[in-house]
Every structure is written in C-alpha cells, then in structure tokens.
Amino acid sequence: MPLLAAAFFVTAVLYAAVGFGGGSTYNALLALSGMDYRLLPVLALSCNLVVVAGGSVRFARAKVTPWRGAALLTAIAAPAAFLGGLTPIGEDAFLTILGVSLLLTGLTMLLPITQSDEARPTRLARFMPLVAAPIGYLAGLVGIGGGIFLAPLLHLTRWRDAHAVAATASFFILVNSGFGLVGQLIKNGSGMLGAAVESGLPLLIAVAVGGQIGSFMAVRFLPQRVIRWMTAALVIWVGLRLLYGG
C-alpha cells in the first residue's frame, strides 16, 4: 500500500497540474495491483472528486475558468456519464477500453501546441459540444471524469489557451465524476462506496495532498508544455502495462 499511495500521489500532482483528476491512471494502477475490477471505478471516481474539487476552486480564484464554455460542455456530458456508469461491462472489456484510451490519449498529448496557435481557435472548435456526450458516456463506463479525453481535443482545436483548457477539464471532471459515481453505485450497490473508502483511505489522502500541490503548480509555476509531456509519458507507460499484462 505505501508504494501504491506514492504512485497515487505522483499521479495526482501531474494530473492536477493540467486540470485532470487522474482517474484513468488510478484505475490502471489499481487493476495492476489486483483489486476487484468492480471496485476500481468507485475508488477512482472518489479520488477524482478529491483532486479536482480543490483544483477547480484554485482555477476559479485565479479567474482562468471560461465558465460559459465549460458549463455548456459539462451540462451535455454529465447525463451521458451517468448512463455510462449504469452500463454493465465485463472485466476484459473494461481493462481493454481503459488501456487503449490511455495509450491513444497519451500519444495525443505529445502533439506540439504553440502559444500563437492557442490564440486563434480553429473552425473545429465550435463543434466541441458534439463530442461532449460520447466522452461523458465513455468516462462513466470506465469510471473516470473524461477530462483526459476532452482536453487533447480542446488543445488540438485551440479552443482556449492552455490554462483555460486545464480549468475547463478540471470542472468537467468534477461534475462528470459525481454523475458517473452515482451511476456506478446504482449499478453495483451503495455498499461499494464504503468498501472503496475503507480499502483506499491512504490513497484518498495521498491524492488530496498531491492534487493541491499540482493545481498550485499549474496556476503559479510549471510550464504547461512540460506538465503535458510528463503526464503523457505516465499515461502511455501505464496504458502499455495494462494492455500487455503488467
């Protein structure tokens, strides 16, 4: 557990610094540890909520959250995340979808983004609301917040600058994690939440501390390009471990 808690701490720092909760990697790390796959989404979503709640507040206080756009994307995705949480899924399908999603997303995050590009949205940026529902459903299905899917698309279409994208992803994850968690608990029973907290309390504490550090770094210090590359490397490594048997 100490090693796993340390991994969760590092994950929370890196993910919170780009506005993510880390649910995808929490799920993967727990799967590699041998935990019951039905418990993974509940614990990962709980960790997400702990991380992005603090991050969302920090981004809001720094006045970098584009509330109109963030609220629109989230309002479309949240009901789909609830339905995804309700959808039954087998262990093999769950782990495969999660591993592939991690790998593809990590590769996408490595694509270069320049400051001049970020200042001019592409024509595709206006279509981002159309992808919010599918992202929300997939997020609810595998027990993550979905920001790790949304943010690369926002970056590629130059929807907003890097800090605004991070703030939007953080808020998106916060709401979707809540809706997805409710769906998971309805599907598997409310007792899963107590079991997740009981077995994962050290992990929840680790991500609470790591999330605060990461979101502080995002607002004040660390260059976004460096954070994205570090996070992409982590995502790709964990995705490959998950797909090829750890």
Domain ranges in the chain are 2-243
Residue 39: C-alpha distances to residues 27, 143, 241, 245 (Å): 9, 10, 20, 19
Mean pLDDT, the chain, whole residue set: 84
Residue predicted with more confidence, 80 or 19: 80
- Give percent of the chain above pLDDT 70: 92
For range 148-152, the mean pLDDT: 84
Query: Which of 14, 26, 24, 27 is CA-nearest to residue 55?
Result: 14
The pLDDT-based confidence of 222 (bands split at 50, 70, 90) is low
Per residue, the 3-state secondary structure of the chain, as one string, reads CHHHHHHHHHHHHHHHHCCCCCHHHHHHHHHHHCCCCCCHHHHHHHHHHHHHHHHHHHHHHCCCCCHHHHHHHHHHHHHHHHHHHHCCCCHHHHHHHHHHHHHHHHHHHCCCCCHHHHCCCCHHHHHHHHHHHHHHHHHHHHCCCCHHHHHHHHHHCCCCCHHHHHHHHHHHHHHHHHHHHHHHHHHHCCHHHHHHHHHHHHHHHHHHHHHHHHHHHHHHCCCHHHHHHHHHHHHHHHHHHHHCCC
Residue predicted with more confidence, 117 or 41: 41
The pLDDT-based confidence of 221 (bands split at 50, 70, 90) is low
pLDDT digits (tens, 9 = 90+) for 22-40: 887 888 888 888 888 888 8
- Give percent of the chain above pLDDT 90: 28
Residue predicted with more confidence, 225 or 209: 209
For range 73-89, the mean pLDDT: 94
pLDDT over threshold 80, residue 17:
no
pLDDT digits (tens, 9 = 90+) for 94-109: 888 888 888 887 887 7
Query: Which of 119, 109, 149 is CA-nearest to residue 133?
Result: 149
